[in-house]
Structure 1
């Protein structure tokens, strides 16, 4: 906790009384300095509690006021005057000038030595330093955990939260690698603002720039003397020493992430894959606390994302890992059953899966199918994975990159996981005679049957849907019944034919 004038006054052992400048009681004290000079300012650096017995204090009120003004101009925090040696009370001129300047003026009881005040200040500052060091150590640990679980985006997000700052990481070509906002809502706006402020000044290797919007701290990302980019940190106030230390630590972590050898990334990917396989197979058992090392909360729900038709799995897995790392979210990923499988926090289910599928499609240059399971406890992730696979396979060729399990109909679940050959066999077995008839006579029996089934056997509605007379529809359905040898008025037969029609539709969508 910062040592202020008010905190020092609260220590009754020191015999201090605030007699002027009460408005500045919350000003921080950086040191206590006893000095007996008419003008002590050359020996001050700002933030001091100036202690004097008054031996060299001017006697004239105007000179006393000028003395206090000089202290204020130098940045001194407060003046403490001994009232047991030269003065029995603080001169009125000092008290009034302290009020005018908002510079605290303290009366020191005659029996209290300055060394006691100095020791109290030193002890409080040391305790504050220990607390600050512990806080920095804790924050450094959080940054390291963020780097382990989510790479550069997670480090940037953690730094922004710790400093209440806007943070942007640029590569060597000024492209934004990651950004985070102090209000956690608009990282892209924060990135634009910081870049605009950076362009408004002359680019330097590293440093601090103050403007109307606050303070902009820049740190060059360099490894082995080679510049790899820049970290920009925007804060309302100037960073103090411990905060600068935290920025330096974050810069080091980011530089390490940028320089990770390919072999290390490969090991990380394999480890994530092995852990996810163990989780899905039940090998991990009920103790899931080790998943915290990957940023996953064992008590929080997760969702599974499955991606099919991604092509050769090795390059697809490498691209998937890059895409997921860029999100800054904790994750596990593997490949199984010819599909890519990802486990994400359930809170990311609204947008992240769509972004991942879109990035994979662009990177792989091919259409693919994505499926998202329902939220489940971490120990039940296998259920979400099965749902995701069913949704991904059901959505193949449907024109959507991602299909959620909750959106699937019954026929999707029954047919979506089947191969094209199996679907064709189902359709041919039930509709083969109709397809042969239509092909030979340029007929529309299959189309008419689909309309009939879609409209629950309502002649008028079915006929209107394909723009024929109801008698024509009746005649066609009679022909369908004759060719198939089935009663199309039977609910059981209609259900069977409906599945066949949908299987045929999936075959056609798949080309």
Structure 2
């Protein structure tokens, strides 16, 4: 953009500084010639004010006059005095220097029209480049839509067309898409908070020009508008896909659907059919974000659904898938992975293995289920087994004996049936509502809720320990 220094450097205009040289970097977008006593009423920010001097007051009033000119936001003042007008005195020069406001001297012979043409031509060229950049953004976007690229690929294409870098994050700070990592912030960087209509989340968009210049507002608006449209469409698609995935996952875990149906559903989501499948249990910090949105999981080739605070999913038995999952959810995510799904390890068992592995997983390091490792969780010493069983299960045993109830047997059956309320109720020959009432009683009496991951883990360990020593005796 043209600035005051650039005009002074053009010797054809014969301009020189009277004051305010430090403000020479002020941009100039338009020129106004005003010889009235109140020029501030006719100009605005970015304008260069030109005058031949008849409106300049006597020296005693010049300080107040120039203060009003400065307050109007103009980029500078050019004085090409005609004979008989007041010259700017020391007081005016002093206030201009204090405000770093450029005041330029010019000859009365200066052709204002030439100066104005230079500024206007630069402004029109700049506006032309701006519009060309905006057109390139929308042309590139239209082309990328026809190629059915992903959200990340489409936005990368847009950035290449206009020399931008970008990063897009969800409310939890998880990266949705981006080119390079933007960690340094200066005038070339813009940070925007976006709220796509009819979506349960916000997003942070970071934009940076590759040449270090300030990003153009029109380009910023065009790019951010496209991002909002993309997020809105992806949120809508994700909601529909998540609802379908939830039914598939629940049916698979409950044994209603076969392994082949699971493989078909994964293939529809981009999973390569060749190779083995595994179950995974995942927990990550959502920072209060509606987890059903989960922008970080958009486009991932996996099939999942929420169970309490744990996301249960099925995916390829491929370390690259797990690595991609870790990158999407951040290093704080905890991931438990099952053994490969097979005829001997059906999906419902694999899901349970994944939750067991999750119980001992550390953030950033996926834990793969290993039977020996799980067995090692339960102590082998009889005294330790008895201590664990008595500590966690004695309240339930006391309740059963006092009320002729069967809470211990109920929770044992529920866990053995992989927390399937339908299967456990059928085996116990009770109504499902009765089962859920008993499980709530278990949580109230023992402090361990068998319908949660944490409660399942502790109750399972306690029951395993009890079985090893035959507790309770008799």
* TM-score with structure 1 setting the length: 0.43
* TM-score with structure 2 setting the length: 0.46
